[in-house]
């Protein structure tokens, strides 16, 4: 069973989500939180597979709670899925920066939401690099090119190359083909790059490449 922590400050929505998850047959609710601080506390204690996170909550909001959860090495296997009514605004990009693995609108069909949670738990990408770049182009001002930015200074030349290819939307298999290396080696390069720059998800690599000027709109 995939364990889900449900975090929303509205008890009615929280109850509906709990009912949906428990009736799925493949998911189970391991805890509930009505604010971000409680979400972080329960995530640390319960180690859920997926945290279903609202953005706007009192005190510690969902974005900061996501940042704290994703920054905890003990929760490296925990994925955060943002559930929001703000699918197309800068909140989503902030959540991805914080380490969220994807997002779903609160108007999504129940069966679809169950499938999304299962996909997140399996480590699948919900938001493609192309979709991430579409968000970035609206809400992020890219840095000017010029030398290697400090954020990327620890990367080798090959890792910088891999970062750019990830940001351009290539899969591990496509990176392997482009660089004439094995898929396993490509995956290793991607994972090392993520570790060095502190990225929790491939979407964060896209954001980083854009914000540092490594990738430009249309690049």
- The domain boundary residue, chosen from 74, 100, 127: 127
pTM value is 0.74
CATH number at residue 62: 3.40.50.2300
User: Is residue 219 domain-resident?
Assistant: no
- Asked if residue 36 and residue 98 are part of one domain, the reply reads yes
- The domain boundary residue, chosen from 127, 145, 165: 127
- Asked if residue 140 and residue 174 are part of one domain, the reply reads yes
User: Is residue 187 domain-resident?
Assistant: yes
pLDDT in 10s for each residue of the chain, 219 residues: 899 999 999 999 999 999 999 999 999 999 999 999 999 999 999 999 999 999 988 899 999 999 999 999 999 899 999 888 755 566 877 888 888 888 888 888 888 899 989 988 887 766 655 566 666 666 666 555 555 677 788 999 999 999 999 888 788 889 999 999 999 999 999 999 999 998 877 878 888 888 888 876 555
Number of domain units in the chain: 2
Domain that holds residue 90: 2-127
- Asked if residue 9 and residue 47 are part of one domain, the reply reads yes
DSSP string over 121-169: HTT--SS-HHHHHHHHHHH--PPPP-S--GGGTTS-HHHHHHHHHHHTT
């Amino acid at each position: 069973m995939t364990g889900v922590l449900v975090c929303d400050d509205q008890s009615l929505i929280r109850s509906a989500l709990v009912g949906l998850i428990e009736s799925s047959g493949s998911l189970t609710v391991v805890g509930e939180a009505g604010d971000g601080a409680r979400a972080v506390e329960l995530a640390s204690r319960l180690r859920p597979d997926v945290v279903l996170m609202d953005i706007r909550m009192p005190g510690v909001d969902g974005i900061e709670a996501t940042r704290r959860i994703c920054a905890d090495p003990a929760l490296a296997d925990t994925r955060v899925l943002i559930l929001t009514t703000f699918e197309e605004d800068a909140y989503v990009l902030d959540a991805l920066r914080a380490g969220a693995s994807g997002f779903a609108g609160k108007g999504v069909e129940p069966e679809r939401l169950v499938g999304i949670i299962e996909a997140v738990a399996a480590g699948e990408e919900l938001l493609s690099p192309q979709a991430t770049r579409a968000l970035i182009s609206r809400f992020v001002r890219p840095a000017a090119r010029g030398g290697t930015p400090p954020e990327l200074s620890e990367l080798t030349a090959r890792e910088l190359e891999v970062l750019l290819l990830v940001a351009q939307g290539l899969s591990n298999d496509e990176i392997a083909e482009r660089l004439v290396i094995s898929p396993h080696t490509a995956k290793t390069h991607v994972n090392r790059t993520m570790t060095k720059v502190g990225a929790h998800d491939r979407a964060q690599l896209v954001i980083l490449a854009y914000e540092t000027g490594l990738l430009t709109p249309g690049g």
